[in-house]
């Protein structure tokens, strides 16, 4: 039995904004047992071992807000919960998915901590946390721990499950542009935006990428036939099926020629500058393995360039560089190449997935080049011997600024001719800054779903630039892909309020969905009878392409267990704050903690949005300061000081004044006769919410009257709470 | 008998609006009249009895072997199932040489038919055997390979019905509709806006289900499983019976339904693994299979799909019953017909086994024996149209499913008891969503009404009211084509249109040259009509292309015939007279849209006569206000564009627009007659294309004659005070026009530099100098490397000949080399002189002249 243990009592994946963070996070309830008595500085050799295993920890700033801050804390003495947080974060970073935020907080129980780590990939963070626990225990006990193997496993997991590099940079750009991202649990589909405003991406394809255009692009010969008549130079070529025909075509065209498969791209089996029949035969055989038809075309001399076209613009351009290493008489070619690749990867953006030599090994062109040089990956080149491998699209130099306008125009025209909204256009030219016609350059091919340039050095027009361009293409102008989203939380009446607000929006002619404790509604149709005041149901509404607005109820428990199903909302309502013993098991006991929890609903209100708050509940009213947007209050009391103050400040308030319902804005007010059914507690917050959501006041009042009769659902829906 | 030359006329042509094969057939003396070869007809009847060689009417042209080739080529195609009806065989001016023209629907089939016909005639002449049957069978097979499939065909037909032009881009099903910036594409039942992502979603059944569920569409619960054990556990959890299917399959392969036992599940799992890589187990929904077709946001068709089955009679085995059903002549092979033969294979045997039967069992009378658990037409299932019965809620769910996935053309598979009720009422569900669905079961269901699917797809792509055309203005004539094209294009540009134009010196799109050389043929015209950035096309349409290949378009908005005059290029291709030439140039007039216009020169009687052939309106233009044709036309309330005093006046009924010649720099204030004519033609063309007067005025005002705007067309330059005019004119009509134009310009001494292209008739070459000899004092004749088939000195001799009776010319010199001639002329010029240089290598000569003038003038200033 070990002297020390770290027990993980509970693990919660918070999928949306939550009490710790606006972003998804993993929350662990951790019991550090006897370690509570042993801060880091009291554990012999622990700190040194830890920092040796994970030198990256030296960069952690922690509370000192400067690199080395965390190591200082370790040396001064800090507790294992806090260390677990930092080690988990560091492991995530080393796995290639840096997440940034972490937190460790003690709970009411001694030795039990909340350790929270932000996550972009749940299973990775979970594994990192478990590995961090093992690593810390090993470091405490002075046992061996194979850090290298652990990191490799984590990287494999990150690569397998995470977004590919192209998708990741589009998603990053969307997040930066404040566009909500809804990843689906299935497949590679990512939904950007909500409801009718959503757009979809699947690697570097958008929902407007035409399937026909893709099939044209994959048929290289057809693509050329369509492009050439528009005045864009393309190399003369023939489609062949036999080696003899390939040689005949080569002789007809005139050497040197290039040979490549009729379909498939990414330059895997493209052979350039072939100068005789024998070379053509060898290349034909290799290309034939990729596709049954092979193209023999005029070899165009010059550098290969990849232009990334998005919409009507060239947004990135790279020149492929030959890949060179120099032998030292000690290391294998494999090792030399790996080192060179790492240098490139380090120069690239930090989010880029490192290249591995295996990315190159399988390519026939690489195999053929090595065979020509009589080399294998295991060979040890003598000192000073230079080995050059064929140019490769993954290793490029940014040339965006140099591209001649006529070439950019031709590249975008080619994309239009084929019908692609995003295309990778391959151009061979001696000098990309001069028109093609003057230098005998040509457009070689056009590719759908191109990989984004993820391996350019920092500062170049690389993946970040490309991702941004794609997001701007999908969401032009100030479109953020958002539909009006009304978030409803609080201790009472929330289900009925959600239903009623949904009904009022529906009356107003908005295609609205409601996820609440009473079920899931699309318009008037109740499509799910199960409790839908949860994360999954909320997300279900937001991916629905037919919805123009969504009303989502989130219970305090759901907020604790899952987080909100959206990042920001247009209208955020908190009805009331009342202690709930069910929440005690989450460590939420006193009203103050409840306030902290429900404040999330107000925190996520958009700057142009509105927080709707119950002025009759002092705790709720106090949340006003957390709203980035406007604040609209409601009250049963026309003389409430809060109402008077709000109106005096020119704000909005909805209140009951005897037999009238008053919608007041500063000095102006609309007074409407109180509907007979208005005594139901949900009516007032629903009216305030609907007003915040731009439903005309007249419609609100008549809608409240019509609500019970106009709906097919059982009356439980409008009763105070369910 | 010999077939000398074969051409495919791929658009409207001299003979008809249809596509046709044209062959030149040489017949020897005997073959020119079959009545002199009684054995021939007899043998022909024996080997090809279906061929009807019509008797010759009294005094008619005798039937030749060429006629047999004509009717055989047509008949063979018709027998192979091609929809063709037009053919003709005409005698050319050369004895024994015939022009055979036969319509085709697929070019390769037409060519093959001609080839067969030729061999047939040869066999008949040689009295050799010939198997027509097998040739027709081969032709039929070829046609089925080539022609569009039924799905694509239905969409193309719907497009044609609306007047939308189309063009096949591949031998497959990729088709382009419309022209220029209005073009759209389809590939089978897929349109160009069909999203690749939506297709990927539809391929992923689990993801599809997740999205459909989000949209509130009922779907059967299910899960992916990795082993038989896991599959059985899932089946038990979901509740039996279940369906097992591959995650990424299609055509119903590897799908097993109604599984209630573990052994059945095991067999089903293995079948699914064979058809795909991952297996799904889902709740089985009892009921019928329905396929709904959604186009855009509408339900277009619904069909119930029944699996293939036979009904026992207590006498025959299952095998015999299947054979009996398959004898139904409506059941064909493959995808072409509304019923397909039942596939009696391993899958069918397994299905029998589950019913306790095998192929040799004799099912009891009335027993329904199902032979497959899916209802695909291609394996013998049937489709019954139920479109009119679909409950609106059910239709709404199906449309929601298509929209959630994002497919604009979508086949939605539904399982339920009846389409008369909503899915929710009967526990039905949507089981699959398909991209690029087959349309056959809706176009020609086995039972019930066929639906207008093609129309719906065309409506989705184009909305209503548009025919996806861009304005096309075709320009032909002997002289003035190029300037008319350039000026018309310039006017259209003022109207905000992105213009593509073809010319004898290149293809231009939005002012950028995208091709060079002579681009007045159909290939260049097609490249403009295919260009995605073109809103309007102005196409110089020369005679060569019309003869060679026909037109590149089925119809145009405006057809301009500038003039025919005395003609040009006469004697080539059996076009020997000016009348022949008019018939050829008339082809563009014959193919004007009903809403379009022919723009014709009323001053040119032959051009003016083309009007009768125009299906649309006619706009006559004339430099003569008293021209009887235009005066009459105007009196009839129709459109004319005429010179009236110092302005061009455009009249239709009472409507009048005056365009002062002083505001048209191209005409030098109206002094250059042939440029006035070009301006008239361009104004009329722009009017016919619907351009408003503001833009026409602006276009005329900003089109400045210059080497850049009208290269080789009356480019006026100054050389040390002398006027130098460079022009590319090269036929007698052009000389008349040029003489008229330069005579209007003041000059002391007049000089002309001229050569001629060798491929003209002798008299046409002579005529040119004959005309010039009466207007110029001095003539420099030159010849250059390119003599176009003439011997050295031959052209010069003809030119000299033409000057023999010159009234004005007093000095003639001969020089070899265009640039030497230019230098020579420039050297002789004094201030106040005028020199017309008829250039041949347009671009180079203009560049040279421009440079020489610039040098000289800057030297003069210095």
Mean pLDDT of A654-681: 89
> Is a pLDDT exceeding 70 seen at residue B458?
yes
The two structure tokens encoding residue A57 = 């920890």
Judging by beta carbons within 10 Å of its beta carbon (0-12, 13-18, 19+), is residue B583 exposed, middle or buried?
A: middle
| Beta bridge partners of residue B620, listed in sequence order | B600, B640
pLDDT tens, B112-142? 999 999 999 999 988 899 999 999 999 999 9
Residue identified by tokens 């757009």 is A199
pLDDT tens, B514-539? 999 889 999 999 999 999 999 999 99
B47-56, B340-349, B498-507, B796-805 — which is least confidently predicted? B47-56
Q: Which pLDDT score is estimated for A553?
A: 97
> Is a pLDDT exceeding 90 seen at residue B339?
no
Chain A residue numbers with beta carbons less than 8 Å from the beta carbon of B515 are: 229, 231
pLDDT band at residue B561 under the 50/70/90 scheme: very high
What average pLDDT does the structure give for chain B?
90
pLDDT band at residue A717 under the 50/70/90 scheme: very low
Check if the beta carbon of residue A640 is closer than 8 Å to that of residue A660: no
Check if the beta carbon of residue B121 is closer than 8 Å to that of residue B41: no
Using a CB–CB cut-off of 8 Å, the residues of A that contact B are: 184-187, 189, 200-202, 205-216, 219, 222, 226, 229-231, 413, 416-417, 419, 448-449, 520, 522, 525, 527-528, 539-541, 543-546
Q: Supply the DSSP string of B147-211, one letter for each residue.
A: SPPHHHHHHHHHHHHTT--EEESSSSSEEEES-GGG-EEEESS-BTT-BHHHHHHHH-HHHHHHH
Check if the beta carbon of residue A420 is closer than 8 Å to that of residue A414: no
pLDDT tens, A362-403? 556 666 777 777 778 788 888 888 887 766 655 678 899 999
CA A163/CA A173 separation, integer angstroms = 13
Contact A187 B200 (CB under 8 A): yes
Residue length of chain B: 862
Distance from CA of A462 to the nearest CA of B (A): 24
Check if the beta carbon of residue A531 is closer than 8 Å to that of residue A720: no
Mean pLDDT of B278-292: 90
| Beta bridge partners of residue B23, listed in sequence order | B6, B100
Mean pLDDT of A190-199: 95
Residue identified by tokens 């093992």 is A134
Chain B residue numbers with beta carbons less than 8 Å from the beta carbon of A413 are: 532-533
Q: Which pLDDT score is estimated for A456?
A: 63
Judging by beta carbons within 10 Å of its beta carbon (0-12, 13-18, 19+), is residue B329 exposed, middle or buried?
A: exposed
What average pLDDT does the structure give for chain A?
87
Those residues whose C-beta lies under 8 Å from the C-beta of residue A220, and which sit 6 or more positions away, are: A260, A262, A263, A295, A445
Mean pLDDT of B477-492: 93
CA B197/CA B407 separation, integer angstroms = 9
Check if the beta carbon of residue A317 is closer than 8 Å to that of residue A306: yes
Q: Which pLDDT score is estimated for A679?
A: 77
Alpha helices per DSSP H over A266-404: 277-290, 333-347, 358-361, 364-372
Q: Which pLDDT score is estimated for B571?
A: 65
CA angle at B530 for the pair B529 and B533, rounded to the nearest 5°: 90
> Is a pLDDT exceeding 70 seen at residue B663?
yes
Alpha helices per DSSP H over B495-542: 522-530
pLDDT band at residue A358 under the 50/70/90 scheme: low
Q: Which pLDDT score is estimated for A260?
A: 87
Give CA B754 to chain center in angstroms: 41
| Beta bridge partners of residue A107, listed in sequence order | none
Q: Supply the DSSP string of B2-59, one letter for each residue.
A: EEEEEEEE-SS-SS-SS-EEEEEEE--TGGG-GGG-HHHHHHHHHH-TT---PPPPTT
Q: Which pLDDT score is estimated for A716?
A: 47
Mean pLDDT of A21-30: 92
| Nearest alpha carbon to residue B575 among B600, B547, B601, B606 | B547
CA A494/CA A488 separation, integer angstroms = 6
CA B297/CA B303 separation, integer angstroms = 18
Distance from CA of B559 to the nearest CA of A (A): 24
Residue B717, classed as helix, strand or coil, is strand
Check if the beta carbon of residue B829 is closer than 8 Å to that of residue B751: yes
Q: Supply the DSSP string of B817-835, one letter for each residue.
A: SHHHHHHHHHHH--TT-EE
Distance from CA of A507 to the nearest CA of B (A): 20
Q: Which pLDDT score is estimated for B405?
A: 95
- Please name the member of B170, B194, B512 whose beta carbon is closest to the beta carbon of A211: B194
Check if the beta carbon of residue A111 is closer than 8 Å to that of residue A5: no
Mean pLDDT of A320-345: 76
> Is a pLDDT exceeding 60 seen at residue B162?
yes
pTM: 0.86
pLDDT tens, B644-660? 999 999 999 888 899 99
Q: Which pLDDT score is estimated for A185?
A: 63
Sheet holding B429-435, edge to edge: B382-385, B298-306, B288-295, B409-416, B429-435
Chain B residue numbers with beta carbons less than 8 Å from the beta carbon of A520 are: 216
| Beta bridge partners of residue A601, listed in sequence order | none
Mean pLDDT of A89-106: 87
| Nearest alpha carbon to residue B461 among B182, B257, B738, B729 | B182
Q: Which pLDDT score is estimated for A715?
A: 38
Q: Which pLDDT score is estimated for A721?
A: 39
Check if the beta carbon of residue B226 is closer than 8 Å to that of residue B232: no
Instruction: Tell me how far CA of residue B388 lies from CA of B171, B299, B300, B301, in angstroms.
Output: 36, 11, 10, 8
pLDDT tens, B313-338? 989 999 999 898 888 877 876 555 66
pLDDT tens, B577-610? 878 888 888 999 999 999 999 999 999 999 999 9
Q: With helix as H, strand as E and coil as C, how does B457-492 read?
A: HHHHHHCCCCCCCCCEEEEECCCCHHHHHHHHHHHH
Distance from CA of B668 to the nearest CA of A (A): 35
Q: What percent of chain B has pLDDT over 70?
A: 96
In this structure, the number of other CB atoms found within 10 A of the CB of residue B814 comes to: 15
Q: Which pLDDT score is estimated for B858?
A: 83
DSSP β-ladder status, A525-528 and A519-522: antiparallel
DSSP β-ladder status, B834-838 and B722-727: parallel
Alpha helices per DSSP H over B337-449: 346-354, 392-405, 423-426, 440-443
Contact B195 A545 (CB under 8 A): no
Distance from CA of B245 to the nearest CA of A (A): 18
Contact A546 B507 (CB under 8 A): no
Sheet holding B2-9, edge to edge: B2-9, B20-26, B97-103, B87-91
Those residues whose C-beta lies under 8 Å from the C-beta of residue A215, and which sit 6 or more positions away, are: B174, B187
| Beta bridge partners of residue A519, listed in sequence order | A516
Mean pLDDT of B28-53: 85
> Is a pLDDT exceeding 60 seen at residue A539?
yes
pLDDT tens, A692-709? 999 999 999 999 888 864
> Is a pLDDT exceeding 80 seen at residue A352?
no
Mean pLDDT of A69-84: 92
Q: Which pLDDT score is estimated for B856?
A: 87
CA B285/CA B429 separation, integer angstroms = 7
Q: Supply the DSSP string of A180-221, one letter for each residue.
A: -EEE-SSTTEEEES-GGG-EEEETTEETTSBHHHHHHHHSHH
A356-370, A648-662, B62-76, B541-555 — which is least confidently predicted? A356-370
CA A555/CA A489 separation, integer angstroms = 6
Q: Which pLDDT score is estimated for A2?
A: 62
CA B849/CA A82 separation, integer angstroms = 86
The H helix count followed by the E strand count for chain A is 24, 28
Q: Which pLDDT score is estimated for A671?
A: 94
pLDDT tens, B419-457? 999 998 898 999 899 999 989 889 989 899 999 999 999
**Dihedral over alpha carbons A324, A329, A331, A333 (to 10 degrees):** 40
Distance from CA of A77 to the nearest CA of B (A): 50
Q: Which pLDDT score is estimated for B462?
A: 94
Convert A102-123 to b/e letters by CB count within 10 Å (16 or more is b): bbbeeeeeebbbbbbbbbbbbe
Backbone angles phi, psi at B649, to 5 degrees: -120, 135
CA A274/CA A321 separation, integer angstroms = 19
> Is a pLDDT exceeding 60 seen at residue A361?
no
> Is a pLDDT exceeding 50 seen at residue A39?
yes
CA B66/CA B43 separation, integer angstroms = 16
Cα torsion A470, A474, A478, A480: sign: negative
Q: Which pLDDT score is estimated for B192?
A: 93
- Please name the member of A416, A449, A540 whose beta carbon is closest to the beta carbon of B214: A540
Strands, E assignment, B606-687: 617-622, 640-644, 647-652, 655-660
- Please name the member of B194, B196, B215 whose beta carbon is closest to the beta carbon of A544: B215
pLDDT band at residue B840 under the 50/70/90 scheme: confident
Judging by beta carbons within 10 Å of its beta carbon (0-12, 13-18, 19+), is residue B594 exposed, middle or buried?
A: exposed
- Please name the member of A206, A419, A544 whose beta carbon is closest to the beta carbon of B192: A419
- Please name the member of A185, A202, A545 whose beta carbon is closest to the beta carbon of B197: A202
Q: Which pLDDT score is estimated for A346?
A: 55
Q: Which pLDDT score is estimated for B377?
A: 76
Backbone angles phi, psi at B498, to 5 degrees: -85, 115
Residue A448: closest C-alpha in chain B: B196
Contact A544 B404 (CB under 8 A): yes
């Amino acid at each position: 039995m070990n002297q020390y243990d770290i027990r993980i009592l509970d693990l919660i994946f918070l999928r949306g904004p939550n009490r710790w963070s606006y972003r998804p996070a993993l929350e662990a309830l951790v019991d550090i047992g006897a370690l509570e008595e042993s801060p880091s500085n009291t554990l012999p050799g622990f700190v040194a071992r830890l920092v040796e295993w994970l030198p990256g920890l030296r960069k952690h700033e922690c509370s000192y807000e400067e690199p080395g801050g965390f190591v200082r804390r370790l040396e001064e003495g800090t507790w294992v919960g806090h260390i677990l947080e930092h080690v988990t974060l560091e492991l995530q970073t080393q796995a290639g998915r840096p997440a940034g935020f972490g937190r460790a907080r003690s709970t009411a129980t001694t030795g039990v901590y909340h350790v929270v780590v932000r996550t972009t990939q749940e299973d990775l963070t979970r594994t990192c946390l478990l590995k961090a626990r093992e690593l810390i225990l090993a470091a405490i006990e002075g046992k061996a721990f194979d850090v290298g193997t652990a990191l490799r496993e984590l990287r494999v997991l990150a690569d397998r499950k995470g977004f590919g590099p192209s998708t990741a940079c589009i998603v990053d750009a969307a997040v930066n542009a404040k566009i909500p991202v809804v990843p689906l649990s299935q497949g590679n589909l990512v939904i950007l935006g909500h409801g009718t405003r959503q757009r979809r991406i699947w690697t570097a394809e958008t929902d407007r990428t035409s399937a026909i255009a893709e099939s044209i692009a994959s048929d290289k010969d057809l693509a050329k036939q369509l492009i050439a008549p528009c005045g864009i130079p393309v190399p003369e070529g023939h489609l062949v099926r036999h080696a003899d025909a390939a040689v005949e075509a080569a002789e007809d065209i005139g050497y040197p020629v290039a040979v490549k498969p009729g379909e498939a791209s990414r330059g895997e089996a493209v052979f350039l500058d072939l100068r005789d029949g024998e070379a053509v035969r060898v290349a034909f055989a290799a290309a034939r393995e990729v596709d049954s038809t092979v193209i023999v075309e005029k070899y165009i001399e010059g550098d290969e360039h990849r232009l990334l076209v998005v919409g009507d613009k060239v947004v990135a351009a790279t020149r492929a560089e030959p890949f060179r290493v120099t032998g030292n008489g000690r290391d294998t070619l494999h090792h030399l190449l790996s080192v060179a690749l790492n240098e490139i990867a380090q120069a690239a953006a930090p989010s880029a997935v490192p290249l591995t030599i295996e990315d190159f090994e399988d390519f026939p062109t690489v195999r053929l080049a090595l065979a020509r040089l009589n080399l294998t990956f295991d060979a040890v080149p003598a000192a000073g011997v230079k080995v050059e491998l064929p140019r490769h699209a993954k290793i490029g130099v940014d040339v965006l600024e140099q591209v001649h306008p006529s070439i950019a125009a031709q590249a975008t025209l080619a994309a239009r001719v084929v019908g692609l909204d995003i295309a990778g256009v391959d151009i061979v030219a001696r000098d990309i800054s001069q028109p093609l016609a003057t230098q005998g350059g040509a457009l070689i091919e056009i590719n759908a779903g191109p990989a984004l340039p993820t391996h350019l050095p920092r500062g170049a027009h690389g993946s970040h630039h490309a991702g941004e361009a794609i997001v701007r293409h999908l969401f032009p102008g100030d479109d953020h892909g958002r539909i009006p989203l009304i978030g409803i939380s609080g201790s009472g009446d929330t289900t009925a309020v959600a239903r009623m607000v949904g009904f009022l929006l529906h009356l107003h002619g908005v295609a609205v969905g409601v996820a609440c404790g009473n079920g899931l509604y699309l318009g008037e149709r109740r499509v799910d009878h199960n409790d839908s005041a949860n994360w999954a149901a909320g997300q279900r509404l937001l991916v629905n392409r037919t919805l123009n607005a969504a009303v989502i109820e989130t219970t305090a428990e759901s907020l604790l267990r899952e987080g909100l199903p959206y990042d920001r909302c247009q209208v955020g309502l908190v009805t009331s704050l009342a202690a709930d013993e069910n929440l005690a098991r989450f460590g939420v006991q006193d009203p103050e903690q409840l306030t902290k929890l429900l404040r999330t609903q107000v925190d996520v209100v958009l700057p142009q949005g509105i927080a709707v708050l119950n002025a009759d509940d002092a705790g709720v009213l106090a949340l006003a300061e957390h709203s980035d947007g406007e604040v609209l209050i409601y009250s049963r009391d026309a003389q409430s000081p809060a109402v008077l103050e709000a109106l005096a400040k020119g704000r909005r308030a909805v209140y009951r004044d005897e037999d009238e319902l008053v919608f007041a804005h500063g000095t102006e007010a609309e007074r409407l006769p109180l509907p007979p059914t208005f005594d139901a507690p949900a009516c007032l917050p629903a009216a305030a919410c609907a007003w915040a959501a731009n439903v005309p006041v007249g419609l609100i009042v008549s809608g409240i009257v019509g609500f019970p009769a106009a709906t097919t659902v059982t009356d439980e829906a409008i009763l105070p709470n369910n | 008998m010999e077939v000398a030359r074969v051409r495919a006329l791929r658009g409207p042509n001299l003979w008809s609006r249809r596509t046709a094969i044209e062959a030149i057939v040489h017949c020897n003396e005997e073959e020119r009249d079959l009545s002199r070869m009684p054995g021939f007809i007899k043998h022909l009847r024996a080997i090809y009895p279906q061929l009807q060689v019509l008797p010759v009417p009294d005094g008619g042209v005798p039937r030749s072997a060429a006629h047999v080739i004509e009717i055989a080529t047509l008949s063979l195609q018709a027998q192979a199932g091609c929809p063709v009806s037009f053919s003709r065989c005409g005698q050319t001016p050369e004895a024994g040489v015939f022009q055979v023209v036969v319509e085709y629907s697929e070019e390769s089939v037409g060519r093959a038919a001609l080839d067969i016909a030729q061999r047939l005639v040869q066999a008949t002449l040689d009295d050799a055997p010939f198997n027509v049957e097998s040739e027709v069978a081969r032709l039929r097979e070829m046609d089925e390979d080539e022609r569009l499939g039924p799905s694509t065909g239905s969409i193309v037909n719907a497009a044609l019905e609306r007047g939308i032009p189309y063009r096949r881009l591949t031998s497959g099903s990729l088709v382009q509709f419309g022209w220029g910036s209005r073009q759209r594409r389809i590939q089978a039942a897929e349109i160009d806006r069909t999203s690749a992502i939506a297709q990927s979603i539809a391929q992923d059944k689990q993801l599809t289900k997740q999205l459909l569920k989000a949209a509130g569409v009922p779907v059967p619960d299910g899960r992916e499983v990795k082993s038989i054990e896991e599959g059985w556990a899932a089946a038990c959890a979901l509740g039996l019976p279940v369906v097992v299917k591959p995650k990424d399959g299609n055509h119903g392969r590897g799908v097993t339904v109604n599984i209630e036992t573990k052994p059945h599940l095991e067999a089903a799992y293995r079948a699914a693994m064979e058809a795909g890589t991952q297996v799904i187990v889902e709740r089985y929904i009892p009921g019928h299979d329905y396929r709904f077709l959604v186009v855009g946001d509408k339900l277009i068709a619904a069909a119930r799909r029944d699996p293939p089955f036979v009904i026992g009679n207590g006498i025959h085995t299952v095998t015999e019953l299947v054979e009996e059903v398959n004898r139904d002549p409506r059941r064909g092979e493959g995808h072409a017909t509304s019923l397909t033969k039942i596939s009696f294979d391993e899958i069918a045997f397994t299905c029998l086994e589950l019913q306790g039967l095998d192929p040799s069992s004799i099912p009891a009378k009335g027993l329904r024996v199902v032979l497959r658990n899916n209802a695909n037409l291609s394996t013998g299932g049937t489709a019954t149209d139920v479109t009119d019965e679909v409950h609106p809620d059910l239709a709404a769910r199906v449309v929601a499913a298509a929209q959630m996935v994002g497919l604009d053309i979508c086949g939605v598979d539904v399982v339920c008891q009846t389409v008369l009720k909503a899915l929710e009422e009967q526990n039905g569900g949507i089981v699959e969503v398909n991209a690029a669905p087959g349309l056959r079961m809706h176009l020609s269901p086995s039972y019930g009404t066929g639906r207008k699917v093609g129309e719906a797809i065309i409506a989705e792509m184009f909305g209503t009211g548009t025919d996806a055309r861009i304005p096309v203005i075709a320009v032909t004539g002997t002289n003035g084509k190029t300037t008319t094209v350039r000026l018309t294009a310039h006017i259209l540009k003022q109207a905000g249109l992105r213009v593509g134009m073809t010319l004898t010196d290149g293809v231009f799109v939005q002012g950028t040259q995208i091709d060079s050389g002579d681009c007045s043929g159909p290939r260049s015209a097609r490249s403009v009509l295919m260009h995605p950035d073109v809103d309007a096309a102005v196409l110089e349409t020369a005679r060569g292309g019309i003869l060679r290949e026909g037109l590149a378009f089925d119809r145009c908005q405006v057809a301009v015939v500038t003039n025919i005059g005395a003609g040009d290029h006469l004697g080539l291709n059996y076009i020997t007279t000016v009348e022949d030439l008019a018939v050829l140039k008339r082809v563009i007039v014959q193919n004007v849209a009903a809403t379009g216009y022919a723009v014709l020169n009323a001053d040119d009687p032959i051009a003016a006569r083309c009007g009768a052939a125009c299906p649309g309106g006619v706009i006559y233009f004339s430099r003569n206000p008293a021209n009887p044709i235009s005066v009459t036309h105007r009196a009839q309330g129709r459109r004319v564009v005429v010179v009236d005093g110092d302005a061009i006046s455009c009249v239709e009924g009472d409507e009048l627009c005056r365009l002062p010649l002083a505001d048209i720099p191209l005409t030098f204030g109206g002094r250059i007659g042939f440029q006035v004519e070009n301006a008239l033609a361009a104004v009329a063309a722009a009017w016919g294309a619907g351009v408003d007067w503001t833009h026409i005025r602006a276009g005329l005002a900003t089109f400045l004659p210059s080497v850049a705007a009208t290269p080789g067309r009356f480019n006026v330059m100054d050389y040390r005070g002398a006027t130098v005019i460079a022009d590319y004119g090269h036929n007698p009509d052009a000389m008349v026009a040029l003489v008229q134009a330069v005579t209007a310009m003041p000059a002391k001494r007049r000089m002309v530099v001229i050569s001629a292209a060798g491929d003209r008739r002798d008299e046409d070459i002579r005529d040119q100098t004959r005309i010039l000899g009466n207007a110029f004092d001095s003539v420099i004749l030159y010849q250059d490397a390119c003599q176009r088939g003439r011997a050295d000195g031959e052209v010069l001799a003809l030119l000299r000949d033409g000057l023999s009776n010159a009234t004005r010319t007093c000095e003639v010199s001969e020089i070899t080399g265009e640039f030497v001639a230019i230098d020579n002329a420039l050297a002789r010029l004094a201030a106040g002189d005028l020199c017309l240089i008829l250039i041949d290598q347009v671009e180079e000569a203009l560049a040279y002249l421009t440079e020489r003038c610039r040098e000289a003038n800057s030297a003069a200033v210095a």
